[in-house]
Amino acid sequence: MPDRTLREEELLVRVGWIVKVRWLFLAVLAVTIVIGRYVFEIRFPVGKVLLVWAVILLYNVGFDLYYRFRKGESVPDLTVSRIEGYLQIGMDLLALTFLIHFTGGGENPFIYFYLFHAILASMLLPRSEVWLLGFVAYCMFLSVVALEYLEVIPHYPLEGLFIHSRHGNLLFLSAVSLGLLITLVTTIYLSCTIVNSLRLREKNLLLTRNMLEKKSGELAEANAKLFERQKQLVQAEKLASMGQLVSGIAHEINNPIQFIQGNMQILREAIRDILPVLDEKEGKDRGLKIARLPYPFFREQVQVLLKDMADGAGRIGNIVRDLKTFARRDEGRLDEKVDVNRVVEAATRLVHNKVKRYRVEQSLAEGLPALKGSLIQLEQVVVNTLINAAEAVDDRPDACIRITTRLENDGRQVRLSISDNGPGMTDEVKDRLFDPFFTTKQRIGGTGLGMSITYGIIKEHGGSIEVDTLPGQGTTFHYILPVARSAS
């Protein structure tokens, strides 16, 4: 197709070039008529020659206007350009034949102008068609010579150029005709060979250019993908380093938390033992204050304060434990007995800060049998999915995330479903959802690894994933996991 387009553009340009050459020919012909008639005093029918000149002028004006009109075409029509080329060369051959006839016939020294049209045809048309036009041109010349010789049409001698007219000399006419034939055949052969060789080289250059452009585009695309992969791998490495950092921080926080929890128990026992003493003292001193608080209020609130402190320390301990577990996700074994509901609860605590602005509903079936797998890895699956759900429903006033678990397939499988009422996904995004490094969250630093890792974990556990989604109707991820044999 690119080659055809090039041929079309090339043909249109060359057809226009012939029009320009014809303007030059008309100027030269006019000068030749004047010089031949009035300088060299050669007598010939000037009126008839000027009539042919005027006809050439008229049809060249038409071709020029038509060429200017066609220059505006985005993709020139090859067939139209070829027809125009045929028409131009055919009319030129006819006009040249009349000029030859009116200026001496076989005696005209300019009969070799037929060669120019053979060369022009080789530039515009295929080889076979050039030979056909050459044959037609030769037949036109031969017809003029023969008809003049047989006196079917009048002969117009170039009086003043030759002493004796030779249009009746058969040997002379045969020699001139044979010379033109040999010259015409040689010219057509050489011009077609050269032009076809140039066209072949031009075609090869075009193919090479197209191939280089294609390879250059592929290389640029591959380079862009490589750069993107590099960025994503660097991000993944940062996340891995962050996991190690989180593990270390969690370990450091865990020690003082245990210290606080241990001391809280001692403090609660101390308060319980000291309250009777304070009650007795308050009976004697009604204005007793503890920590600048009236004693009755202090006695009522101190237990609540201690309980809140203990609960807060316990919650910090749970978060620290979950962080340590999550940071060791690559160390998870696949032979543990895993409670899916416990996985959901731990993962929800981990992402509490991410989902606390939304309504999170849980419907966890009780008494689910244990799974055989890795608590750490399954926890990572739930964390990844909850984070994606939170990002999907972001800024929705009715944002809701729902987590459900249930037993199915006659107790042989557990289905864990996480739904959101976000914008959903298109089929294109859904098809590439689990591809490594595919992400729709480049703006917020998504690596495209989360769902790919999730897919690998579920497959390692012998499970499967189902995704229900439609644009504008939210998304639900279903993780179907096999129950441990001993549990079933």
Q: Is the pLDDT of residue 2 over 60?
A: no
Q: Is the pLDDT of residue 4 over 50?
A: no
Work out the pLDDT band at 333, boundaries 50, 70, 90: low
Tallying the residues shown for the chain, one arrives at 488
Long-range contacts of 330-335 (CB under 8 A, 24+ apart): 331/376, 332/374, 332/375, 332/376, 332/377, 333/374, 334/372, 334/373, 334/374, 334/377, 334/460, 334/461, 335/372, 335/373
More confident residue, 132 or 12: 132
More confident residue, 345 or 248: 345
Q: Three-state secondary structure along the chain?
A: CHHHHHHHHHHHHHHHHHHHHHHHHHHHHHHHHHHHHHHCCCECCHHHHHHHHHHHHHHHHHHHHHHHHHCCCCCCCHHHHHHHHHHHHHHHHHHHHHHHHHCCHHHCCCHHHHHHHHHHHHHHCCHHHHHHHHHHHHHHHHHHHHHHHCCCCCCCCCECCECCCCCCCHHHHHHHHHHHHHHHHHHHHHHHHHHHHHHHHHHHHHHHHHHHHHHHHHHHHHHHHHHHHHHHHHHHHHHHHHHHHHHHHHHHHHHHHHHHHHHHHHHHHHHHHHHHHHHHHHHHCCCCEECCEEHHHHHHHHHHHHHHHHHHHHHHHHHHHHHHHHHCHHHCCCCEEECHHHHHHHHHHHCHHHHCCCEEEEEECCCCCCEEECHHHHHHHHHHHHHHHHHHCCCCCCCEEEEEEEEECCCCEEEEEEEECCCCCCHHHHHCCCCCCCCCCHHHCCCCCHHHHHHHHHHHCCCEEEEEECCCCCEEEEEEEEECCCCC
More confident residue, 418 or 267: 418
Of 94-108, 149-163, 431-445, where does the model show the most confidence?
Answer: 94-108
Q: What pLDDT, on a 0 to 100 scale, did the predictor assign at position 251? A: 63
Q: Is the pLDDT of residue 201 over 90?
A: no
Share of residues in the chain with pLDDT > 90 (%): 11
Q: What pLDDT, on a 0 to 100 scale, did the predictor assign at position 76? A: 55
Contacts of 482 (CB under 8 A, 6+ apart): 371, 372, 412, 413, 461, 462, 463
Give the pTM: 0.44
Of 251-260, 266-275, 336-345, where does the model show the most confidence?
Answer: 336-345
For the chain, report the end-to-end CA distance as a whole number of angstroms: 65
Least confident of 131-135, 192-196, 223-227, 317-321: 317-321
More confident residue, 289 or 183: 183
Work out the pLDDT band at 406, boundaries 50, 70, 90: very high
Contacts of 119 (CB under 8 A, 6+ apart): 187, 191
More confident residue, 297 or 361: 361
pLDDT tens, position by position, 41-91: 888 888 888 998 999 899 889 888 887 877 766 555 667 777 777 788 888
Long-range contacts of 123-130 (CB under 8 A, 24+ apart): 123/14, 123/191, 123/195, 124/11, 124/14, 124/15, 124/18, 124/82, 124/85, 124/89, 125/82, 125/85, 125/86, 127/192, 127/196, 130/188, 130/191, 130/192
Work out the pLDDT band at 485, boundaries 50, 70, 90: low
Q: Is the pLDDT of residue 479 over 90?
A: yes
Work out the pLDDT band at 238, boundaries 50, 70, 90: low
Q: Is the pLDDT of residue 317 over 90?
A: no
**β-pair type (400-408, 359-364):** parallel
Average pLDDT over residues 404-427: 90
Q: What pLDDT, on a 0 to 100 scale, did the predictor assign at position 482? A: 92
**In angstroms, rounded to a whole number, what is the distance separating the alpha carbons of residues 287 and 283?**
10
Work out the pLDDT band at 103, boundaries 50, 70, 90: confident
Average pLDDT over residues 209-227: 84
Of 145-149, 311-315, 444-448, where does the model show the most confidence?
Answer: 145-149
Work out the pLDDT band at 3, boundaries 50, 70, 90: very low
- Smallest Cα–Cα separation from 144: which of 186, 111, 119, 116? 111
pLDDT tens, position by position, 137-161: 889 888 888 888 888 888 888 776 7
**In angstroms, rounded to a whole number, what is the distance separating the alpha carbons of residues 174 and 161?**
21
Q: Is the pLDDT of residue 110 over 60?
A: yes
Average pLDDT over residues 105-134: 82
Q: What pLDDT, on a 0 to 100 scale, did the predictor assign at position 6? A: 43
pLDDT tens, position by position, 14-47: 777 888 888 898 898 889 888 888 888 888 888 8
Q: What integer best gives the mean pLDDT of the chain? A: 80
CA torsion through residues 84, 85, 91, 92, sign: positive
CATH 3.10.580.10 fits 332-488, yes or no: no
Side-chain half-sphere exposure of 358, counting CA atoms within 13 A: 29
